[in-house]
Structure 1
Amino acid sequence: MKLHNRREAAGHEILADDLQREGKRLAEQYKPSFEFEEVWSKFEQAGNLPWTKQRPFSGWLTWGAGIAVSLVVASGVLIGIGAVSPQVAEALRSIPFFDYLYAKGRDTDDLKRIEEKNLSTTANASAKDKGIEFNVVNVFYDGIQLVLNYEVSYPESTPKLTEKEAQVYYNLTFSGIQPQAISTHDFTITGEHTFVGTTRMSIGDKDMPAQLQLNMTVDCIGTTRGTWDVSIPLNKQKSDELTKIVYPKNLEFTYKNTKYTIDKLVFGPVTTQVVIGNVMPYYLFDLAMEDDKGNLYRNYGGSGATQDYYYFNLPPLTELNSHPKDVTLTLTEHGGPNTPSDEVQLFKCKIPLEWDKE
């Protein structure tokens, strides 16, 4: 046992010497903004504290600390010379887009779910004109909604940004498809020459492609005319992996001589969507969903109708009951009592659910 300890210590001395030489070599070659000796001395001091002030670290942890010092030096050098990928650089410089919206009093529950489940993808789409840089940082797409986060940077020589200059004028289109959609946006000034924006789009088409190309045409930023067009690939693979779709059979009802069918239920990580077909002529309905544990879900913003179907957007299933045995749908006349009752309800049905074993 004692022999093992002596070898471990000797091995650490050799490793420390190697790490110190390599760290100095990197520092001399790339000239980072900090002195290597400063970082190394901190490591040595940590390793030479009196035993009474130390916890009994294992040899593996001490070895890991040595590696950590090397990584600190290496990462500092790489960042200093710009030798990191755009994806890594963006991860290191995270922009709290949704926190800005929350500070403005916007409803960000669905956006927080996107963030918590890491459902956005890096966009890598940017354009520069008239000295102004427009950069789409990330995008979320699940076939039900689209969320774009972008940043705008003015030249340092320009005056301090005002609300008038912190605006983006754009048009969104999809290659090969023209879905029914509504959108909104918010802009927030983040510095003297920078601001960020978030665009949220609710999509009305019930069967959107898994992959799609989004074209964002920008012809004016603030009061400056120019061209900042970008094209962004969309992919809903991340959300699809967490989504269950149910197609009920023979679920229909009649209201004012018009037949309606429950076509589809989408249980996604951000939104639950219920699609009801044959709504022409259509009437205004409200829909509530209740799971087998009594949790109630009501339709919220983004719901709507086309000439062929309704689509109701509800919150996702609660984490406390993410795999219910069944859900009950209750359809009522729009504008009726908040709590569905027998007097106003048009249709009520229970739909059994089967989940894949995890």
Structure 2
Amino acid sequence: MSAKRDPVHAEPNVTEQDQIMREHAGSILRKWEEHQPVAPFEDVWDRYLSAAEASRRKQQIRNRWRAAAASFLVLILLGGAVLFSSPEVRAALSRFPFMKMLLADGGFEEQGLSKIEKEGLGVHLNTSVIDRNIRFTMDEVFYDGVQIVLNYDVEYLDKKKIIGEKDVAVHYDLKFDGAEPTASSTHKFTQLNDHAFIGSTLIDAYQYLDGYKLHMNITQIGQVKGDWSVTVPLSVSKTSPDTKIFFPNQTVETKGRTRTIERITFTPVSTQIAIRTSEYREHEISYRLRDDLQTDFATSGGLGGDYEIIGNFSPPSAINPHPKYVEVLFDDPSEKAENFIRREEQAPLNDAFPIELKGRNDGKVTVTRVDYKDEGTILTYEASDAENQRPTLILIDSNEKEHHSIGQPVRISKERFDFQMKFPKLESGSLKQINMTMYDYKPGYEPKPPTTIRVPLDWSKP
């Protein structure tokens, strides 16, 4: 996908993008002030928690029905396509668990994507185009001001045709009506049966596009050329109530360079940080994001502009959704590969816990249990410190096959660095060894401590 880069001002004044975001944040604040209750915030918050718990229970019931419907749909799809074109199945397909399929094999990082279906954050479209006896349907669009997700399905209407691997593909380009943001996209296609497949396209577009339209120009499906183009409206209406935008305007100076944290956006699915730098196209900048419990935010891409750097991260952890502050850690200069040596720790895995592995910088990683579940194998571990919280762990089975983790580890304790890491579904007793790979500093090398900006966060107001 080709796109032009947004112009960025050389002076350290407010950019056009920030102005749009400030106006958006201001409109939320005005709406909030108009409806500001007389009761103290603590009372309102308690009532909110009670209402949220009731809503959560209702959502659980709805999710059970959705899961049952999805299971029924899978039986239909795998059993044949006789009923595939019926209105009932057509409606069921529009509610297919796209994100679950997207994340199933670990090819995509979970980040916050699973929340799209769990919390009903997508907008259902069910817009179909038929050409060359193939039906393309845009089922759902998600947009939170940071990331766009398109979920769609394709049905070959000729039931005599049995599709193969080459038929499971959508060739497209993306254009925005009235905007030319710097953007990147990726996708995944999953075959459902002999006549149909689903797809998801994930787009990072570094411009605020609420109210814009996205054109998905489709010129080929599988091996068939045609036109299945669709237009998708972009709206943050589903995520705006749970989106928080901060404008810290905090600056730190190192080695004659200044970096200013201009904007941090938290959505239900993403975290985005905008940094202004005095160095023209400072591409080698290296930075991390942590919360007040020293939990790392997982990175998910970014953009280096002329004087602005934008980074996308996972949302805050579930156990600490509203951190009191976040820290931006700049590693300056960036660590070079020659400063590290690769090391591997190994230990037998025979359900005798705990299993202690030597970590980085005299730290350790202690595996406390492994649970074999239908949704996957869950490994629980405790890290001795923040630097060892994201180890690279590999499970080895009795056939010497390696099994890698799916998604990022999830912190489960505020008091300790306790995490859970998900692996593919495995049989109990099938594992024989666990490996941990890491990169230590070379002997004698003294790393420079990162330059840190601490950004306080006040979540009590929009």
Q: TM-score, normalised by structure 1?
A: 0.68
Offset of residue 331 of structure 1: 1.3
Offset of residue 129 of structure 1: 0.6
Task: List per-residue Cα deviations over 1:263-309 (Å, max 9, x = no partner).
Answer: 111111111111101351313223222222332324x2322212231
1:162–1:335: structure 2 CA closer, same or farther, 3 Å change rule? farther
Measured on the aligned residues, the alpha-carbon RMSD in Å equals: 2.7
Contact preservation (8 Å) 2:281, 2:307: no
2:135 equivalent to 1:133: yes
Q: Name 1:51's counterpart in structure 2.
A: none
Amino acid in structure 2 at the alignment position of 1:281: R
Q: Name 1:4's counterpart in structure 2.
A: none
Amino acid in structure 2 at the alignment position of 1:103: A
Task: List per-residue Cα deviations over 1:15-34 (Å, max 9, x = no partner).
Answer: xxxxxxxxxxxxxxxxxxxx
1:276–1:89: structure 2 CA closer, same or farther, 3 Å change rule? same
Contact preservation (8 Å) 1:125, 1:232: no
Contact preservation (8 Å) 1:125, 1:231: no
Q: Name 2:289's counterpart in structure 1.
A: 289
Amino acid in structure 2 at the alignment position of 1:184: T
Residues 45-124 of structure 1 aligned to structure 2 (within 5 Å): 90=91, 94-109=95-110, 110-124=112-126
- Residues of 2 paired with 1:148 and 1:335: CA distance? 37
- Residues of 1 paired with 2:453 and 2:307: CA distance? 21
Amino acid in structure 1 at the alignment position of 2:122: S
- Residues of 1 paired with 2:106 and 2:295: CA distance? 26
Which of 165, 177, 180 lines up with 2:179 in the alignment?
A: 177
Which segment is superposed worse, 222-231 or 322-331?
Answer: 322-331
Contact preservation (8 Å) 1:255, 1:346: no
1:93–1:301: structure 2 CA closer, same or farther, 3 Å change rule? closer
2:195 equivalent to 1:193: yes
Larger Rg: 1
Q: Name 1:145's counterpart in structure 2.
A: 147
Larger relative contact order (CA 8 Å, sep ≥ 6): 2
Offset of residue 87 of structure 1: 11
Residues 23-38 of structure 1 aligned to structure 2 (within 5 Å): none
Contact preservation (8 Å) 2:94, 2:126: no
Q: Name 2:311's counterpart in structure 1.
A: 312
1:182–1:345: structure 2 CA closer, same or farther, 3 Å change rule? farther
- Residues of 2 paired with 1:346 and 1:105: CA distance? 31
Structure 1 residue ranges without an equivalent (≥5): 1-85
Offset of residue 319 of structure 1: 2.2
Residues 250-261 of structure 1 aligned to structure 2 (within 5 Å): 251-261=250-260
Structure 2 residue ranges without an equivalent (≥5): 1-86, 341-359, 361-386, 389-440
Q: Name 1:265's counterpart in structure 2.
A: 264
- Residues of 1 paired with 2:459 and 2:322: CA distance? 7
Equivalent residue pairs, number? 269
1:157–1:290: structure 2 CA closer, same or farther, 3 Å change rule? closer
Q: TM-score, normalised by structure 2?
A: 0.54
Which of 341, 349, 355 lines up with 2:453 in the alignment?
A: 349
- Residues of 2 paired with 1:155 and 1:199: CA distance? 23
Q: Name 1:39's counterpart in structure 2.
A: none
Q: Name 1:234's counterpart in structure 2.
A: 234
- Residues of 1 paired with 2:157 and 2:114: CA distance? 32
- Residues of 1 paired with 2:448 and 2:262: CA distance? 22
SS at match of 1:302: strand
- Residues of 1 paired with 2:130 and 2:243: CA distance? 37
- Residues of 2 paired with 1:204 and 1:94: CA distance? 29
SS at match of 1:316: coil
Which of 150, 158, 161 lines up with 1:159 in the alignment?
A: 161
Judging by fraction of residues, say which structure has more helix. 1
